[in-house]
């Protein structure tokens, strides 16, 4: 019920009207993916490191608190959630890459 309420209460129109908010969403998503991709420095395969970047709980909590406390504008709230959704889509691509790599490594 909480996620339905949150989704219904957000106004995503500012994302379409203000291109800078789409840029913000892209930068937030890229930042999340890049921070997790840094795990390659610890010899984690890139696809598996990127899989860890799928975040919904923290961004949703941030949007909920930021909206309730009037710390985020409606457009910023939408950008944070858009970034979270982008990171989930990127992890889908990373999962496919990890699956292909595993299949290739197991092939005779």
Decide if 36 is inside a domain: yes
The vertex-47 CA angle with 98 and 91, nearest 5°, equals 95
Decide if 3 is inside a domain: no
Decide if 6 is inside a domain: no
The pLDDT tens digits for 33-87 are 999 999 999 998 888 888 888 888 888 888 888 988 999 987 898 899 889 888 8
**Helix ranges restricted to H, the chain:** 2-9, 13-17, 19-37, 46-51, 57-68, 74-106
Decide if 53 is inside a domain: yes
Decide if 66 is inside a domain: yes
Decide if 21 is inside a domain: yes
> What is the model's pLDDT at position 28?
92
- Residue-number span of the structural domain to which 48 is assigned: 12-106
Number of domains forming the structure of the chain = 1
53 DSSP assignment: T
Decide if 54 is inside a domain: yes
Decide if 62 is inside a domain: yes
The pLDDT tens digits for 89-98 are 888 888 888 8
């Amino acid at each position: 019920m909480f996620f339905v309420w949150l989704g219904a209460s957000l106004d995503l129109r500012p994302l379409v009207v203000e291109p800078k908010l789409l840029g913000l969403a892209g930068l937030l998503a890229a930042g999340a993916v890049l921070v997790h991709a840094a795990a390659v420095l610890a010899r984690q395969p890139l696809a598996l490191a990127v899989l860890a970047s799928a975040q919904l709980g923290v961004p949703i909590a941030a949007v909920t608190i930021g909206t309730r406390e009037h710390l985020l504008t409606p457009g910023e709230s939408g950008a944070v959630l858009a970034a979270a959704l982008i990171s989930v889509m990127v992890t889908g691509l990373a999962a496919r890459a990890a699956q292909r790599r595993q299949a290739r490594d197991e092939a005779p």
